[in-house]
Amino acid sequence: MAGVTAPRTAPLPIVALDVGSLADAQRLVRQLGPATTFYKVGLQLFSAEGPRAVEWLHGEGKRVFLDLKLHDIPNTVRGAAASAGALGVSLLTVHALGGAAMLRAAVEGAAGRTNIMAVTVLTSMDAATLARSMGHPTEIAGEVLRLAQEACDAQTHGIVCAGTECAAVRARFGDALQPLVPGLRPAGGAAHDQSRVVTAAEAARAGAAYVIFGRAVTAAADPVGAYATLAAELQPAAQEKS
Ligand code: C5P
């Protein structure tokens, strides 16, 4: 499929609520204030608090990305996606490695109420880790594009990939797949457990539709300032897209 040439809007920033209680999430959301409108609820918070974390965010007028990275048999994933759809979350993740039938089941289960995002190769993986998992040397970019094709065939809304592969995904799939890019760091910032990190500007330039601000915001001494600095990089960089 040909790449798009239309001017690209800036990626939507999503702040990851990687905390262990609703009280901690509420503190962070109140601190960040009205400028932040989209939050990720992931495995840690959802395991601790369940749907009430999502319901509280919706009550505050925020959108929710439910990052559960589902990877199970199609029937189970269809049901989980239907439950997420009933909760009204905007985005839900499943692993692309779950296969074509599982991806289609997720899209069917969500029934247009929730957008399905297929995780390709985790941003924490480098070439050596991927080779060990796959059992043979595997080029990361090629594997991301292969899994993105599976996702595109199943008509997911988008994929999750590192910023380092985002431009290649956009070049191949254009607007048919919306890339969500986690693993953002300020230039020279600590990578933590991530391997394939980029700056917010690099992600925007590469054509990300969504970016995740995790520890770069939530572990900053001044989360409000860190969010504003990162968010300000997005619009100008998106217009410089390669
Ligand atoms: O703190 P940091 O910026 O590393 O957080 C990245 C966030 O993005 C985490 O919430 C993590 O679960 C999520 N994520 C990721 N890689 C993926 C999918 C989601 O890092 N492939």
pTM of the model: 0.94
The CATH code for residues 12-241 is 3.20.20.70
Query: Does residue 6 sit in helix, strand or coil?
Result: coil
207 lines ligand 1 (CB under 6 A): no
Q: Which of 40, 62, 69, 241 is catalytic?
A: 69
Mean pLDDT over all residues of the chain?
A: 94
- What is the residue-wise DSSP string for 82-135? HHHHHHT-SEEEEEGGG-HHHHHHHHHHHTTSSEEEEE-S-TT--HHHHHHHHT
Reply yes or no on whether 241 is catalytic.
no
Distance of alpha carbon 158 from alpha carbon 83, whole angstroms? 20
Q: How far apart are the first and last CA of the chain?
A: 18
- Determine the residue of 198, 212, 213, 218 to mutate for testing ligand 1's pocket, defined as the one with the most ligand atoms within 8 A of the Cβ atom: 212
Cα of 148 from ligand 1 centre, angstroms: 18
Domain boundaries, the chain: 12-241
pLDDT tens digits, 201-234:
999 999 999 999 999 999 999 999 999 999 999 9
Determine which residue's CA is closest to atom 10 belonging to ligand 1: 16
pLDDT tens digits, 91-112:
999 999 999 999 999 999 999 9
